Structure 1
């Protein structure tokens, strides 16, 4: 069985190796054997390789935090899924390999008519977007949500969910060519995050209520979202892709405007009861065509170094883990 294994904490292009490992054991009771199909290269995957993530793996270690595969075998007592079903392995299941045996608990069949490349990206970003809209503020139809990194998987899912639920979105992006694209995807207001964008956002909202800000960048970009929030609004941070580890918050915003600043990490115990439903809600958006996450490139497993280099430069990159490659 081929797999991508990390051999040292450092530059992923150099430390990751394509290796042949023994095939996983046949599934025991309450287990399933999965043939992996696709897995995305996420920022948190690369953070694991460089030892900058929330947890550290012993070395050498297979890599991969999410992906999609088909059930090849089921063990005794398994009733929730059957051979041939597409399923999502658990978070941090080390998915960059052709096959794996995992517990069947919590697995469920994914829609058969959705592109598996889309399903491969379903485990982290879309359910995070669902939780962002459901777990922090009691949003009402007509309320506004402001977000940065609107072109991300989370950002696009927020747009699709908000449109479905009668919410309105202000979406900050960093490249002008994304404006028309995200407007077509359903974003109500799409602005390049540049000087004057905050004033444009406030003008677009008018007397509306901006109750939630969703931050994927941190630092000064998050501070601009706070400026757009209405009285007693809440900012929730899910990432710090800008590299800035501190978000400046004015004391006056805390005292006089009642601004609340929160964070989310979906692997915390308090979110686990909601993950399955969040995944299913996101899968429904994919099934209906309301959510289509962009893919910059798909690389066969043998070209993993090119795939890693591409992902570092930018764009969502997938690994094709099917044995035929």
Structure 2
């Protein structure tokens, strides 16, 4: 049987130039494995950085793109009792999900609710836990507390807004362009502002001078210090990215005189340290919220594998207001 995958054999500064769809032969299914037809797999910023060689963890080449997704079991190997044929399953992190088919050990698969949108479930593994863990692992926040984040129009930003609201937290959401404000408000945000030198003044006006205990930074550069200046004394700033392409810039005086703490967060590091029980708890909680319709991400467009170059180019664009999804077994690309 012919299958297809998005493969790259080199890395380079223009991510869409190094990847393309290639056909491959599916082997005989080994005992203990199941064959999964991949239904949906997102393109995350980490996927783009992997193609350019700038991510912190790079697979050996040649490699298949994609780090998360969902699929449906279409065949079971000898000795497999579950998941059964027809089951919707969460794909293991880092298994190369931009492909029509994957043969995987049955014991590594997690079954998902069968009546939930696969596109929304495909984003379960990376962005929602990143948002949830940054809200819960660094500061003991209570209902009514304030959190400020930049890159609020990103997928993580959208999940953070929804999760904060479910926990009774208030958010101040910072974007880098005025055209992104409306999309962030549509995701449930009340306070949305454009990043600038006077950010602390506008934050005080929006919050009535409330204390801000936690800041979450995905931009770096001078934006890091802009967030730090909005924090209450003793506040914590968590960085998880550098969308500006610049290092975090922050004056030592905020560490010395205002006791601001700067921390970093990388989900891959959390995966290494968390117990299986903790991972199951986090993913189960998120899957439940998605199934209940309480947590979702805005999707800008979906692409099939024949249009993987266009999909990667769209994902790498800084002017998106939604996620780019690969549907390896889906129809030709269509905006939704």
Q: TM-score, normalised by structure 2?
A: 0.88
User: Which deviates the most, 105-114 or 148-157?
Assistant: 105-114
**1:291 aligned onto 2:295:** yes
Indicate if the aligned counterparts of 2:36 and 2:71 stay in contact, CA closer than 8 A: yes
**1:17 aligned onto 2:20:** yes
Indicate if the aligned counterparts of 2:153 and 2:183 stay in contact, CA closer than 8 A: no
Q: Paired residues, what number?
A: 323
Indicate if the aligned counterparts of 2:148 and 2:227 stay in contact, CA closer than 8 A: yes
Indicate if the aligned counterparts of 1:232 and 1:260 stay in contact, CA closer than 8 A: yes
- The match for 1:100 is 102
- Give the superposition deviation at 1:218: 1.2
Of the candidates 310, 328, 331, which is equivalent to residue 306 of structure 1?
A: 310
Query: Does the C-alpha gap of structure 1 residues 214 and 106 become closer, same or farther in structure 2, counting only changes over 3 Å?
Result: farther
**1:192 aligned onto 2:199:** no
CA distance in 2, matches of 1:284, 1:176: 34
User: Which deviates the most, 140-149 or 248-257?
Assistant: 248-257
> Secondary structure of 2:303's partner?
strand
Indicate if the aligned counterparts of 2:197 and 2:226 stay in contact, CA closer than 8 A: no
CA distance in 2, matches of 1:283, 1:107: 14
Report 1:1-325 matches (<5 A).
Answer: 1-10=3-12, 11-29=14-32, 31-75=33-77, 81-244=83-246, 246-268=247-269, 269-271=272-274, 273=276, 274-314=278-318, 315=320, 316-322=323-329
- Give the superposition deviation at 1:77: 6.3
Indicate if the aligned counterparts of 1:266 and 1:272 stay in contact, CA closer than 8 A: no
- Give the superposition deviation at 1:216: 1.0
CA distance in 1, matches of 2:162, 2:156: 10
Unmatched segments (≥5 aa) in structure 2: none
CA RMSD of aligned residues (A): 2.2
- Give the superposition deviation at 1:114: 2.3
> Secondary structure of 1:128's partner?
helix
Indicate if the aligned counterparts of 2:31 and 2:80 stay in contact, CA closer than 8 A: no
User: Which deviates the most, 304-313 or 148-157?
Assistant: 304-313
Indicate if the aligned counterparts of 2:73 and 2:89 stay in contact, CA closer than 8 A: yes
